[in-house]
Amino acid sequence: MAETRVKSFVLRFLLAQPLTYWKLLKYIDVDIPTVQKTLKNLLRNKILEYKNNLFYLTSKGREEAKDLGISVFNSAMCPECHGKTVTLSPFKWLVKEFESLTFERPKAISEYDQGYVDSTDTVARVIFMYQLGDIEGKNIILLGDDDLTSLALLASGFPKQVTVLEIDQRILNFIEKKAALKGWNNLEVIRYDVREPLPDQFKGKYDVFLTDPVETIGGLRLFLSRCVEALKGEGSIGYFGLTHLEASRQKWWNIQKDILEMGFTITDIVRGFHTYLLERDDILNLELKVVKEAPVEIKIPEVDFYTSNLFRIYAVNSPQPLVRGKVDWQRELYYDQEAYVTCP
């Protein structure tokens, strides 16, 4: 059970050192509601204590770890790639170029479920795609691009064509301006609300899509359906991010069922690929459940705790979107019972 898993992780981490609430969320691959619930139980049962913003194991907690055969965690995460499988070393110029391009990027709007991915992670995603042959000479469509991945793709010089569909005009303007400055003419940007049907000119035109969808089952189905409709056919590829924090493994199951139903197989899932640079002040101010339902009184995050996993999917048949045409969803697009870092 997920609670047993949370408990084991808490024990192995805290045997090594006391940790904040935010670090525990970051390191435990279980959804926030379950982590919160387990922490409450462990505090009640005197396995844990909380002081000065840190969780500690009690002596009872240490006994418990011993009984369960759990020892001090000795992380084997690769120190070079941090578990991303690819190194940035041959592409350091691209990291620099991307950082310079995005220096004065538009501020993320938490109310719109924005919150962008760390620059090096964005470039690492592009490198990962390059490694798998999914960029060079390809037509690539991005649905939503507050991460500005389009600029990393264009700066790499590899894609044939990049199209950005995005609802936030600030982001479209920013991308367009930078591309114009650089003289890149293989970019197209269009203001688009995912609830609208995919415009005909984008249907069946792309080799690869990239999106970072909202984390509800319906929202994911909608984002992926729009993307899938833009693909050429068998052999087309999709990339997207999915978190464990706001998506339980049950939700993962539902999403994977959708993926197969749309005619895709999953070829890669890389754990913790993306770290999000959320506005830390907003976390406390926006009445988010990650704070309101916390088991203890917590402080502003001292670490970027929000991560997501990178999925790559491959069309084995002609891609079949599960949603077509206009939908009339409002707040439920962003918000479900597992949405703990999303504005209600």
Contact residues toward a copy of itself (CB under 8 A) are 1-2, 4-5, 8-9, 12, 29, 68-71, 74-81, 83-91, 127-128, 130-133, 136-137, 158, 160, 233-235, 249-250, 252-253, 256-257, 260, 264-271, 314, 316
3-class DSSP state of 195? coil
Smaller CB separation from a copy of itself, 53 or 256: 256
- 4-11 long-range CB contacts below 8 Å, 24 or more apart? 5/29, 5/30, 6/30, 6/34, 6/35, 6/38, 6/39, 7/38, 7/42, 7/47, 8/68, 8/70, 10/38, 10/39, 10/42, 10/48, 10/55, 11/47, 11/57, 11/61, 11/64, 11/65, 11/68, 11/70
Shortest spacing between CB 145 and a copy of itself, in angstroms: 22
Measured distance CA(143)–CA(204) in Å, rounded? 15
Q: Which is nearer to a copy of itself, 76 or 181 (CB)?
A: 76
Q: Which residues contact 149 (CB under 8 A, 6 or more apart)?
A: 122, 125, 126, 142, 210
Q: Which is nearer to a copy of itself, 65 or 101 (CB)?
A: 65
**Whole-number minimum distance, CB 328 to a copy of itself, in Å?**
30
Q: What's the sign of the alpha-carbon dihedral 20, 26, 27, 32? A: positive
Q: Residue 330 is which amino acid?
A: Q
Residues forming a β-bridge with 270: 310
**Min CB(104)–a copy of itself separation in Å:** 28
Shortest distance, position 131 Cβ to a copy of itself, whole Å: 5
Instruction: Determine the Cα–Cα distance for residues 10 and 27; give it in Å rounded to an integer.
Output: 9
Given the complex with a copy of itself, which of 50 and 252 has the nearer CB atom? 252
Q: What are phi and psi of 267, to 5 degrees?
A: -100, -25
Residue reference for tokens 């011993």: 66
Enumerate residues 6+ apart whose C-beta is below 8 A from 72.
12, 15, 16
Q: Residue 172 Cβ, how far from a copy of itself at the closest point, in Å?
A: 25
Closer residue to a copy of itself in complex, CB, 173/250:
250
Q: Report the residue number, 261 or 281, with the smaller CB distance to a copy of itself.
A: 261
Could you give the CA distance from residue 201 to residue 217 in angstroms, rounded to a whole number? 27
Closer residue to a copy of itself (CB): 23 or 105: 23
Minimum distance from CB of 264 to a copy of itself (Å)? Answer: 8
CB of 105 to a copy of itself, least distance (A): 25
